[in-house]
Structure 1
Amino acid sequence: MTNTIADVEQADVILITGSNTTENHPVISAFVKRAAAFKGAKLLLVDPRRIKIAEFADKWLRPNLGTDVAWINGLIHVIIKEDLYDREFVENRTQGFEALKEAVAKFTPEYVSEITGIPPGQIIDAARLYAGAENAAILYCMGITQHISGTDNVKSLANLAMITGNLGRPGTGVNPLRGQNNVQGACDMGGLPNVFSAYQPVTVADNVSKMEKAWGVSGMSDKAGLPVTEMIPKAHSGELKTLYIIGENPLVSDPDLNHAEASLDHLDLMVVQDIFMTETAQKAHVVLPATCFAEKDGTFSNTERRVQRVRKAVDPPEGAREDWWIITAISKRMGYAMDYENAGEIFDEIASVTPSYAGLSYARIEHEGIHWPCPSPDHPGTPILHTQSFPIGKGVLHAIDYIPPAEQVDEEYPLYLTTGRVLYQYHTGSMTRKTEGLNERAPESFVEISPADAEKYGLEDGDKIRIASRRGEIVAKMTVSPKAVDGTVFIPFHYAEAAANRLTNSALDPVSKIPEYKVCAVRLSRAA
Structure 2
Amino acid sequence: MTNSIGEIAGADFILAIGTNTTESHPVISLQAKKAQRNGATLVVADPRRTEMAELANTHLQLKSGSDIALLNAMANVIISEELWNKEFVANRTEDFESLKETVAKYTPEYAEQITGIPADTIKTVARGYAKANNATILYTMGVTQHICGTHNVFAVANLAMLCGHIGKENSGVNPLRGQNNVQGACDMGALPNVYTGYQAVTVDDNRTKFSKAWNVAELPAQPGLTVGEMMEGAADGKVKGMYIMGENPVLSDPDADHVVHALEKLEFLVVQDIFLTETAALADVVLPAASFAEKDGTFSNTERRVQRVRKAIDPVGNARADWEIICNIATAMGYPMQYASASNIFDEIASLTPSYAGISYARLELGGIQWPCPDADHPGTPYLHKDKFVRGLGKFNPVEYIPPAELPDQDYPLVLSTGRRHFHYHTGTMTQRTGALEVHYGAEHLEINPADAAALNVAEGDTVLMKSRRGQVEVTARITDVVPRGMVFTSFHFPEVAINKLTNPARDPVAKIPELKVCAVKVITVS
TM-score by length of 2: 0.99
Counterpart in 2 of 1:15?
Answer: 15
Q: What is the letter of the counterpart of residue 360 of structure 1? A: I
* Deviates most, 282-291 or 312-321: 312-321
Counterpart in 1 of 2:496?
Answer: 497
Counterpart in 2 of 1:306?
Answer: 305
Q: Once the two structures are superposed, what CA deviation does each residue of 1:270-297 show, in whole Å capped at 9, x if it has no partner?
A: 0000000000001100000000001100
Q: What is the letter of the counterpart of residue 304 of structure 2? A: R
Counterpart in 2 of 1:217?
Answer: 216
Q: Secondary structure at the match of 2:359?
A: coil
Q: CA deviation at 1:55?
A: 2.5
Q: Once the two structures are superposed, what CA deviation does each residue of 1:61-110 show, in whole Å capped at 9, x if it has no partner?
A: 11100010000000000000000100000000000100000000000111
Contact 2:154 2:398 in 1 (8 A): no
Within 5 Å, which residues of 2 pair with 1:56-135?
A: 56-135=55-134
Within 5 Å, which residues of 2 pair with 1:464-475?
A: 464-475=463-474
Q: Does 1:388 align with 2:402?
A: no
Q: CA deviation at 1:444?
A: 1.4
Counterpart in 2 of 1:226?
Answer: 225
Q: Using the alignment, how far apart are the partners of 1:101 and 1:259 within structure 2? A: 43
Q: Using the alignment, how far apart are the partners of 1:469 and 1:371 within structure 2? A: 44
Q: Once the two structures are superposed, what CA deviation does each residue of 1:464-506 show, in whole Å capped at 9, x if it has no partner?
A: 1000000000000001112111100001111111111010000
Q: Once the two structures are superposed, what CA deviation does each residue of 1:344-364 show, in whole Å capped at 9, x if it has no partner?
A: 000000000011000000011
Q: Does 1:3 align with 2:3?
A: yes
Q: Using the alignment, how far apart are the partners of 1:239 and 1:216 within structure 2? A: 29
Q: Secondary structure at the match of 1:271?
A: strand
Q: CA deviation at 1:215?
A: 1.1
Counterpart in 1 of 2:29?
Answer: 29
Q: Using the alignment, how far apart are the partners of 1:278 and 1:358 within structure 2? A: 37
Q: Secondary structure at the match of 2:320?
A: coil
Q: CA deviation at 1:367?
A: 2.4
Within 5 Å, which residues of 2 pair with 1:457-496?
A: 457-496=456-495
Q: Using the alignment, how far apart are the partners of 1:337 and 1:258 within structure 2? A: 38
Q: Using the alignment, how far apart are the partners of 1:305 and 1:198 within structure 2? A: 11
Counterpart in 1 of 2:279?
Answer: 280
Counterpart in 1 of 2:451?
Answer: 452
Q: Secondary structure at the match of 1:363?
A: helix
Q: CA deviation at 1:129?
A: 1.0
Q: Using the alignment, how far apart are the partners of 1:515 and 1:254 within structure 2? A: 8
Within 5 Å, which residues of 2 pair with 1:121-520?
A: 121-520=120-519
Within 5 Å, which residues of 2 pair with 1:32-51?
A: 32-36=32-36, 38-51=37-50
Q: Secondary structure at the match of 1:454?
A: helix
Q: What is the letter of the counterpart of residue 485 of structure 2? A: D
Contact 2:504 2:516 in 1 (8 A): yes
Q: Using the alignment, how far apart are the partners of 1:135 and 1:525 within structure 2? A: 48
Q: CA deviation at 1:436?
A: 1.5
Contact 1:8 1:170 in 2 (8 A): no
Q: Secondary structure at the match of 2:407?
A: coil
Q: Once the two structures are superposed, what CA deviation does each residue of 1:142-163 show, in whole Å capped at 9, x if it has no partner?
A: 0000000000000100000000
Q: What is the letter of the counterpart of residue 410 of structure 2? A: E
Q: Using the alignment, how far apart are the partners of 1:361 and 1:503 within structure 2? A: 45
Counterpart in 1 of 2:525?
Answer: 526
Gaps of 5+ in 1: none
Q: CA deviation at 1:256?
A: 0.3
Q: CA deviation at 1:399?
A: 1.1
Q: Using the alignment, how far apart are the partners of 2:166 and 2:202 within structure 1? A: 30
Q: Using the alignment, how far apart are the partners of 2:163 and 2:443 within structure 1? A: 44
Q: Secondary structure at the match of 1:352?
A: helix
Q: Using the alignment, how far apart are the partners of 1:54 and 1:518 within structure 2? A: 18
Q: What is the letter of the counterpart of residue 292 of structure 1? A: S
Q: Secondary structure at the match of 1:380?
A: coil
Q: What is the letter of the counterpart of residue 289 of structure 2? A: A
Q: Using the alignment, how far apart are the partners of 1:34 and 1:20 within structure 2? A: 17
Q: CA deviation at 1:132?
A: 1.2
Q: What is the letter of the counterpart of residue 319 of structure 2? A: A
Q: Once the two structures are superposed, what CA deviation does each residue of 1:128-175 show, in whole Å capped at 9, x if it has no partner?
A: 111110000000000000000000000100000000000111110000
Q: Using the alignment, how far apart are the partners of 1:155 and 1:462 within structure 2? A: 42
Contact 1:466 1:527 in 2 (8 A): yes
Q: CA deviation at 1:450?
A: 1.1
Gaps of 5+ in 2: none
Q: Secondary structure at the match of 1:436?
A: coil
Contact 1:451 1:481 in 2 (8 A): yes
Q: Once the two structures are superposed, what CA deviation does each residue of 1:13-49 show, in whole Å capped at 9, x if it has no partner?
A: 000011000110010011111111x211110111000
Q: CA deviation at 1:222?
A: 1.1
Q: Using the alignment, how far apart are the partners of 2:70 and 2:219 within structure 1? A: 45
Q: Secondary structure at the match of 1:98?
A: helix
Q: Using the alignment, how far apart are the partners of 2:175 and 2:219 within structure 1? A: 33
Q: What is the letter of the counterpart of residue 13 of structure 1? A: F
Q: What is the letter of the counterpart of residue 398 of structure 1? A: N
Q: What is the letter of the counterpart of residue 8 of structure 1? A: I
Q: Using the alignment, how far apart are the partners of 2:379 and 2:242 within structure 1? A: 40
Q: Once the two structures are superposed, what CA deviation does each residue of 1:330-378 show, in whole Å capped at 9, x if it has no partner?
A: 0101111111111000000000001100000001111210000001111
Q: Using the alignment, how far apart are the partners of 2:106 and 2:218 within structure 1? A: 51
What is the RMSD computed on CA atoms of the aligned residues?
A: 0.7
Q: What is the letter of the counterpart of residue 408 of structure 2? A: V
Q: Using the alignment, how far apart are the partners of 1:314 and 1:42 within structure 2? A: 45
Q: Once the two structures are superposed, what CA deviation does each residue of 1:236-275 show, in whole Å capped at 9, x if it has no partner?
A: 0100000000000000000001111111110000000000
Q: What is the letter of the counterpart of residue 95 of structure 1? A: E
Q: Secondary structure at the match of 2:436?
A: helix
Q: CA deviation at 1:180?
A: 0.8
Q: Using the alignment, how far apart are the partners of 1:482 and 1:508 within structure 2? A: 30
Q: Secondary structure at the match of 1:467?
A: strand
Q: Using the alignment, how far apart are the partners of 1:158 and 1:282 within structure 2? A: 42
